[in-house]
Amino acid sequence: AALLDGETGRILYGKNAEALMPNASTTKILTCIIAIEQGNLDQICTASEYACSMPETKCGFAPGESFYLKDLLYSLMLESQNDSAVVIAESIGGNVEQFAALMNEKAAEIGCQTYHFVTPNGLDAEKQNADGEVIRHGTTAAELAKILHYCTKMSPKHDEFLTITRCRSYSFSDSDGYNTYSCQNHNALLDMT
């Protein structure tokens, strides 16, 4: 766990905050901000067979189905859809591996030091680096706190990030208007004052 001051980004409390661990769907926070910063919210993103093969939780897209990036970001952040994460990654980075490289570059730019991003959705994954070392997807609670502080305060696109993550519900269709999808925000803290 890591508790930080939302204004300054200073870590106030940590419990195993520096331990490198799999970070699961919290990965999507970084996926979202990279897509917002590097993509065009009106760009068309097409679902590949690989994206459609993602396990639950997923929207259930069909290969070849196309969407606006903006709509996929709501699916990503409100419902934590694994297929949306891969469609976004392939559209922004060209493929998952190149998008993971963008994730690692952004983490370094933010000031993170302990992380290895391999997937855009946080599913357990590993890869071998040039030295033959096995690298597993993960980061620390302290680094996640830095990433979230960047997304909500420091990014030039923080307003767009907050608009998406504060939304209670969102519906969208594929770019041809054939299929409709609905998302509900499951953040229990959203309505607390």
Catalytic residues: 25, 28, 80
3-state secondary structure at position 135: strand
Smallest CA-to-CA distance from 39 within 2, 70, 11, 17 is with: 70
State how far the alpha carbon of 100 is from the alpha carbons of 88, 153, 170, 181, in Å: 12, 23, 27, 27
Residues 6 or more apart from 105 whose CB is under 8 A from it? none
CA separation for the pair 88, 44 (Å, rounded): 10
- Residue 132's region, left for phi above 0, alpha for psi from -120 to 50, else beta, is left
Contacts of 154 (CB under 8 A, 6+ apart): 9, 110
157 with 30: CB under 8 angstroms? no
Residue showing tokens 């917002």: 36
Beta bridge partners of 180: 173
Q: Residue 125 carries which side chain, given as an amino acid letter?
A: A
